Structure 1
């Protein structure tokens, strides 16, 4: 079985490839692609594999954009951290997915489902992409843009423009407001990442930051970036070299 992986974080892609090989040793990882542009260039010149594993949000756009240029004729399994509500878009349109962080068990189930549904999933993938992204966009438009926080015996609403960042400390997630207050959250950073939308960027495992509070990104040895905020903050926010390019594109385009 020939597989192409589309993932802009090299460590995640390599981990996925390694897990797939352990599950099924005869799998051949034909290529690892890191962007929409690279995928379009690759599929313009090379035959398509038996199966594609793809992240959704890449540094230069959504992986759905690939199908707007290239007619994808093989099944795709998406690696996503979308919440359960958003995943209805995938269920409705017959596209398979696995949730990040993925496990060997989830990969094995996805491969088995691919083998069982191969003919059903193939052939109309581009149309399924269009239907799926339309559903996801409708979800985003219907979003209130408000995060609810339970504080003592009250529920406090915070609109996204009033939130500076979310951060993880001692395995507890916190919301930090523009005014300097912090509140403990029940949601994980992964859940908040998709509630917050495109104005927030996941800098690393600990920080999800609103672009409106970023004043600059400075070089930080070796080949990393340090994020400076518009207000004093007690922790350094460091972006890995793997995410450096994706962050710079996000800052430029948004």
Structure 2
């Protein structure tokens, strides 16, 4: 079994690898990798591992952004000193979420869960039932219909129908169909992503969460990246990475 370790603290990485090899002595350890950019590059150039052990807070950002930029289909065990990312973690193939310092027994339980999942996912009937469960869950979920924004000392509501996109620039801004920029109280685009319908909103990159009705078109370049043009709104280049291009095209034409 090949296990990729993503951890930016050297001593923590060494300790984690030591525990992993005690629990899974036949495992081949890959890494450790310490940055988001480094991890995206590694995953794009190497055969996917059987399992990823990843810290969430890395030197240049949060590791969850790795899996936003690079679509990965292997299980992930997250380790972190914080619990604020738990919901988003479980949306990207996470089989467990361990708080630091990582407890040996908890990691052992996570490995047992991983091995159980390996056998389960070999059962076509189980996989079919699991997919139906998620479809039913997504169909029944209620999404926000309006967002509160700040206008000086006042707070007003912007209905979803008027939202062109959300933008991260230190603060989280809501941009309406007229191009007006409003400050929100959200701390990250991840929070907003939990509240909106993924059928009509798309996380283009770390800075932009775009609304389908306001996308005029997109164009590709020689590198495989895509540039989105918003309808009637001037923006800086809104780029879809090469790794996400196919996923975006499928979403756009759904």
Q: TM-score range by the shorter chain?
A: 0.5 to 0.7
Would you identify which runs of 4 or more consecutive aligned residues in structure 1 move more than 6 Å?
Answer: 49-53, 82-89, 103-110, 118-125
Higher relative contact order (CA 8 A, sep 6+): 1
TM-superposed CA distance for 1:238, in Å, is 1.2
Partner of 2:244: 243
Compared with structure 1, are the counterparts of its residues 162 and 155 closer, same or farther at alpha carbon in structure 2 (3 Å cutoff)? same
- CA 1:88–1:247: 2 relative to 1, 3 Å: closer
Preserved CA contact (<8 Å) 1:98 1:110: no
1:180 and 2:179 are equivalent in the alignment = yes
Query: Given the alignment of the two structures, is residue 19 of structure 1 paired with residue 6 of structure 2, yes or no?
Result: yes
Residues 138 and 52 of structure 1, relative CA distance in 2, 3 Å threshold: farther
Find the counterpart in structure 2 of residue 155 from structure 1.
155
Which residue is equivalent to 1:113?
A: 109
- Paired with 1:185 and 1:166, the residues of 2 have a C-alpha distance of 10
Which structure carries more helix by proportion?
1
- Aligned CA RMSD, in angstroms, stands at 4.8
The alpha-carbon deviation at position 166 of structure 1 amounts to 0.6
How far apart are the structure 2 equivalents of 1:119 and 1:219? 41
Aligned in 2, Cα 1:118/1:175: closer, same or farther, shift over 3 Å?
closer
The residue that corresponds to 1:37 in the other structure is none
* 2:253 alignment partner, SS class: helix
Work out whether residues 95 and 114 of structure 2, in 8 Å CA contact, stay in contact via their aligned partners in 1: no
* TM superposition shift of 1:210: 0.7
1:209 maps to 210
Task: Say whether residues 1:225 and 2:219 are aligned partners.
Answer: no
Aligned to 1:190, what secondary structure does the other structure show?
helix
Task: Provide the aligned length of Structure 1 versus Structure 2.
Answer: 198
TM-score by length of 1: 0.57
Secondary structure of 1:158's match? strand
Report the CA distance between 1:120 and its aligned residue.
7.9
After superposition, where does 1:23-34 map in structure 2 within 5 Å? 23=17, 24=20, 26-28=26-28
TM-score by length of 2: 0.57
The alpha-carbon deviation at position 228 of structure 1 amounts to 0.9
Deviation string 1:30-75 (CA, Å, 9 cap, x unpaired) is xxxxxxxxxxxxxxxxxxx98699x9x999xxx8xxxxxxxxxxxx
Partners in 2 of 1:249 and 1:239 — Cα distance?
13
- Contact conserved, 2:88 with 2:190, CA < 8 A, in 1? no
